[in-house]
Structure 1
Amino acid sequence: MNTPRWHVSQILRRDNRLMVGKLLVVVGLMFGFGYALVPLYRAVCTALGINVLSLSERQHAVRAEDVKNTQIDYSRTISIEFDANARGPWDFKPAVSHLQVHPGELTTVMYEFRNIQSRTMSAQAIPSYAPKQATAHFNKLECFCFNEYTLAAGESKQWPVVFVIDPKLPKDVKTITLSYTFFEVPGKKQAELKKPESRI
């Protein structure tokens, strides 16, 4: 028995509408997945402790107005040691190797960087702290580690680290070592030079 053409046409239209509906659902799901990738990526990276170069540092940054009312603990002196590691052909060092500071005291230290290569490069610094329990008490208001930077061949820069040691630092911690490792960021050679952003 032959099916009437109008019936076949209705079936095809119905199938087409069903297919379009399915495709729209797929497109919607893809859009939603793409939209959720950024927070999902951040959550995964934070959980695994990877690729959070500046994110973790920004989370530990404090504002100047939060420090104004901080009481300086003159009864304690903390020795802060500054270290710099260059993972590449460039010069990178702190202006001073160590300082004596009081908890709650606002302190600024300069770091010097020079690109001794014959080409433009982009780089970023990763900080680390010792002992580990001092990390949460080492509050930076301003730091070059918040950003990536591009330097021309032979270019030199000086960048500040403005910090305050939380008076709640455990009493048994007498020395803190702040260490930076400066490494090249691939694929950023044509990026525009960024200026250090103040956290103040």
Structure 2
Amino acid sequence: MFAFAVWVMPPLYDLFCEVTGLNGKTGGQYEAVEVKVDTSRTVTVQFVVTKNESMPWEFKPKVGSIKVHPGEEVEMSYMARNLTGTGMVAQAIPSVVPFKAAQYFHKTECFCFNQQPLQGGDSADLPLRFIVDQDVPKQVHTITLSYTLFDVTEQKRDLLAGLAGAAAGP
């Protein structure tokens, strides 16, 4: 039962959310195309984080919100710090609300595309680049991007071992 809940359910849930648009899931990495920036309006993007209750890391956005013009590429970052004395691997799962805005929020670079290994006591800046599509409905004035951080150390011991080997050097 535990194995089913840990390894089978998350991929099925992700697939369900991607197909239905439920939970504000974004459609993965966005390929940039030539667009015009709509300077006639702004959209406020809010950044919210939560941690799974068993995640002993500090995790927060560098800013709480920013105003963007639709079509403009924006770069910002999050800070993560492993508060334990041992190495861990984290995975961030995004969600966007309002749900109707999720299809207009495109991440071009995101720490959520990969697991994040950190040795005990280490910290990292986690980059995020995104575009709020110029076709976002005019009634959308605020988009909230939320990340939940999960501990995936047990599933990614090899990634953590590689990080420890690189830190030791030749």
Do the aligned residues in 2 keep the contact of 1:121 with 1:188 (CA within 8 Å)? no
Residue identity matched to 1:61: Q
Amino acid across the alignment from 1:160: P
Per the alignment, residue 185 of structure 1 pairs with 152
How many aligned positions are there?
146
Higher relative CO (CA 8 A, sep ≥ 6), structure 1 or 2?
Answer: 2
**Other structure's SS at 1:187 match:** helix
Greater share of strand residues, 1 or 2? 2
Give the drift of 1:61: 1.8
Post-superposition offset of 1:149 = 2.0
Question: Which stretch shows the higher mean deviation, 158-167 or 80-89?
Answer: 80-89
Name the aligned partner's letter for residue 97 of structure 1: G
Match of 1:11 in 2: none
What SS is found at the alignment partner of 1:61? coil
Indicate if the aligned counterparts of 1:122 and 1:191 stay in contact, CA closer than 8 A: no
Question: In the superposition, relative to structure 1, how do residues 146 and 48 fare at CA in structure 2: closer, same or farther (>3 Å)?
Answer: same
User: For residue 13 of structure 1, what is the aligned residue in structure 2?
Assistant: none
In structure 2, stretches of 5+ residues that fail to align are: 1-10, 19-24, 164-170
Give, in angstroms, the shift of residue 147 of structure 1.
Answer: 1.0
Q: Which residue of 2 aligns with 1:60?
A: 28
Aligned to 1:94: 61
Change (3 A) 1:122 1:132: same
Q: Which residue of 2 aligns with 1:82?
A: 47
Flag the 1:189–1:155 CA change in 2: closer, same or farther, 3 A.
Answer: farther
Instruction: List, as ranges, runs of 4+ consecutive aligned residues in structure 1 with deviation greater than 4 Å.
Output: 43-47
Aligned partners of 1:140 and 1:127: how far apart in 2? Answer: 10
Greater radius of gyration (CA): 1
Displacement of 1:150 after TM fit? Answer: 1.6
Q: CA deviation at 1:180?
A: 0.5
Are the structure 2 counterparts of residues 131 and 150 from structure 1 closer, same or farther at C-alpha, using a change threshold of 3 Å? same
Q: For residues 174 and 156 of structure 1, what CA distance do their matches in structure 2 show?
A: 33
C-alpha separation in 2, matches of 1:178 and 1:167: 17
Q: Which residue of 2 aligns with 1:107?
A: 74
Q: Is the 8 A contact 1:80 1:99 kept in 2?
A: yes
Match of 1:160 in 2: 127
Quick one: which amino acid aligns to residue 36 of structure 2? Q
Q: CA RMSD in A?
A: 2.6
Write the distance in 2 (CA, Å) between the matches of 1:76 and 1:163.
17
Q: Residue 45 of structure 1: CA displacement? A: 5.8
2:38 equivalent among 68, 73, 87: 73
1:44 and 1:99, CA in 2 relative to 1: closer, same or farther beyond 3 A? closer
Structure 1 window deviating more from structure 2 (81-90 vs 120-129): it is: 81-90
1:173 corresponds to which residue? 140
Instruction: Report if aligned partners of 1:82, 1:179 keep a CA contact under 8 Å in 2.
Output: yes
Could you tell me which runs of 5 or more consecutive residues in structure 1 were left unpaired when the two chains were aligned. 1-42, 51-55, 196-200
